[in-house]
Amino acid sequence: MKKTGRTMLAVLCAGAVLTGAACGDTRQTPAGTNAPAATTTELTTVNTLDDDIENPVDISDFVEEDTDKLDDPTITYLGYYDIRTTGDIKPAVKLFEETYGGKVEYDQCAWSERIEKLQVLISSGQSPDLVDREAESFPMLAAKNVYEDLTDYIDLSQPQWDGYEQLVEQYEWNGKHIYYPWHVSAFPTYVFYNGALFEEYGITTPRELYDRGEWDWNAMRDTMQKFIDSRGNDNEVYGIYGLTMVHAMTASTGTPSIGIKDGKLVNNLSSPAIDRAATFMEGLRRDGLTIAADGYWGDDVKPIVNGTACFLVSGQYALTGLMKKDAEVHVGFVPFPKDPDADKYYHGLDAFGYLVPKGADNIKGSAAFINMCRKSKIDPDLRAVVDESRMTKEKWTAEQIEFMKSFENIGDYDVVAELYGGLDSDTSKLIDDMLVDAAFHPDADSWTVLRESNLNTINAALDALNE
């Protein structure tokens, strides 16, 4: 159910925590939560990809022959997933390569090593050309002068950037424009469920509740209890798992745990809204509805498939794993529910794109690639190629893609950006641990104790950044 209103762009100044994937079956997770498994660090420069057979992408109709050529049409991306095979980025890679006659090289690193490796490469004069925008990018890495200014390389008057001026300005840092997000959505966090079991048990699905405007925290809790009751006593069954829930819960109140006001970071952990969210999660934990244990820590889809949990809260990337089981599961998903005591239906913010590290050899080529990514989102015919690639690569359906697309005009939604992931790593992890403990750990202290015992540390960190 859409809610019109002014998007809360002012809170974007320090950046949003990405609570899940922006696109495809990959991407970022919040600090300290559902980190993907580590991968082996290696440099891959071969541009003939195995998935060209299973996922061919034809963008020949979109190559503009009169495009000004690049002096250097080769760029290197540093990250933990291969952008050359990811469903929604591969068309942009192909278009870039065929337009300019170059290639995109992939420098792979473990998820846990990506920030450290970037800083090592910058300091040694071996900067890559592209990296993902991280939660830590604003304000921490921006303050360390980690990124190049793209003002002279990306022209916001081009059609693909229409309406993006205000958003780009929110990411200005010391007069520099270092971030041009090519994907924005009011659907950062997904609540997944097994539609086949809901049908079997005669339970109203979250999608039906969402479409009727009845999908809120209480409806989610009631649905979990009905699901558990329907499963009987033969199995150990839980209501909800996926640590990303804590960030979606706080955002749905309309108040970020760490926000920004008058250009200063603000601690809202003691606000009535965050207290309401934490207390609700504490109640779920107390009643045995949340679970964080083996198989439930991250985004393992088995509990949904096997019916040992009612809901998985995760990023978009978990959809691909579930769709491989769709014949038996009938995958369903909806946005995180509304806070019943909030004045509006607030959604989190999903903003994704690339930044160019300081010292990159090919800033112009990187900017050209970012332009290609944005074109693949805005041009309807090229977007059809992207959607076809996603359906082939990720096994998504056209109906699912259209539902996700409907959240890309964030001006139609009331969006809240959470900023705590952009603090120093110790403070980000501290806040993350507090919320996760409140929601998931049976032996944790009460939310009040967790909050009060850490407030001074968090406020000191914010004071240091504000100064």
Least confident window among 137-146, 216-225, 367-376:
137-146
Please name the residues in contact with 160: beta carbons below 8 A apart, sequence gap of 6 or more: 371, 374, 375, 377, 378, 379
Residue 401 included in any domain: no
Residue 406 included in any domain: no
CB atoms within 10 A of CB 275: 17
Question: Is 230 found in the same domain as 155?
Answer: no
Three-state DSSP at 173 gives strand
Tell me which residue has tokens 């109203």.
Answer: 204
State the chain's maximal CA–CA distance in angstroms: 68
Label residue 233 by pLDDT band (50, 70, 90): low
Question: Is 121 found in the same domain as 248?
Answer: no
Is a pLDDT exceeding 80 seen at residue 36?
no
Least confident window among 61-65, 184-188, 385-389:
61-65
Question: Is 274 found in the same domain as 143?
Answer: no
Average confidence (pLDDT) over 116-140: 92
Residue 78 included in any domain: yes
What is the domain count for the chain? 2
Q: What is the 3-state secondary structure (H, E, C) of 376-444?
A: HHHCHHHHHHHHHHHHHHHCCCHHHHHHHHCCCCHHHCEEECCCHHHCCHHHHHHHHHHHHHHHHCCCC
Q: The pTM is what?
A: 0.82
Question: Is 210 found in the same domain as 73?
Answer: no
Residue 303 included in any domain: yes
Is a pLDDT exceeding 60 seen at residue 391?
yes
Closest of 43, 105, 46 to residue 72, by C-alpha: 105
CA 438 distance to own-chain centroid:
22
Is a pLDDT exceeding 70 seen at residue 342?
yes
**Token code pair at residue 404:** 């996700």
Amino acid at 364: K
Question: Is 266 found in the same domain as 127?
Answer: no
pLDDT at 460: 95
The tens digit of pLDDT for each residue in 300-325 reads 899 999 999 999 999 998 999 999 99
pLDDT at 333: 98
CA atoms of 68 and 152, how far apart (whole Å): 16
Average confidence (pLDDT) over 432-447: 94
Question: Is 356 found in the same domain as 324?
Answer: no
Is a pLDDT exceeding 80 seen at residue 294?
no
Least confident window among 83-92, 162-171, 340-349:
162-171
CA atoms of 63 and 389, how far apart (whole Å): 18
Question: Is 61 found in the same domain as 132?
Answer: yes
Residue 313 sits in which domain range? 190-348+423-466
Q: Is the previous residue joined to 30 through a cis bond, with omega within 30 degrees of 0?
A: no
CA atoms of 14 and 142, how far apart (whole Å): 9
Is a pLDDT exceeding 50 seen at residue 401?
yes
pLDDT at 50: 63
CA atoms of 149 and 445, how far apart (whole Å): 45
pLDDT at 129: 98
| Plot region of 108 (φ>0 → left; ψ -120 to 50 → alpha; else → beta) | beta
Question: Is 367 found in the same domain as 342?
Answer: no
411 vs 348: which has the higher pLDDT: 348
Question: Is 162 found in the same domain as 49?
Answer: yes
Is a pLDDT exceeding 90 seen at residue 140?
no
Q: What is the mean pLDDT of the chain?
A: 86
Residue 220 included in any domain: yes
Q: What are phi and psi of 313, to 5 degrees?
A: -105, 120
pLDDT at 49: 57
Residue 76 included in any domain: yes
Question: Is 218 found in the same domain as 141?
Answer: no
Label residue 142 by pLDDT band (50, 70, 90): confident
- Highest mean pLDDT pick, 23-32, 117-126, 294-303: 117-126
CA atoms of 114 and 31, how far apart (whole Å): 13
User: What is the CATH classification number for the domain harbouring 102?
Assistant: 3.40.190.10
Is a pLDDT exceeding 80 seen at residue 3?
no
Is a pLDDT exceeding 80 seen at residue 12?
no
pLDDT at 418: 85
Residue 1 included in any domain: no
136 vs 354: which has the higher pLDDT: 354
Question: Is 222 found in the same domain as 136?
Answer: no
437 vs 174: which has the higher pLDDT: 437
Residue 41 included in any domain: yes
159 vs 457: which has the higher pLDDT: 457
Label residue 464 by pLDDT band (50, 70, 90): confident
Question: Is 213 found in the same domain as 97?
Answer: no
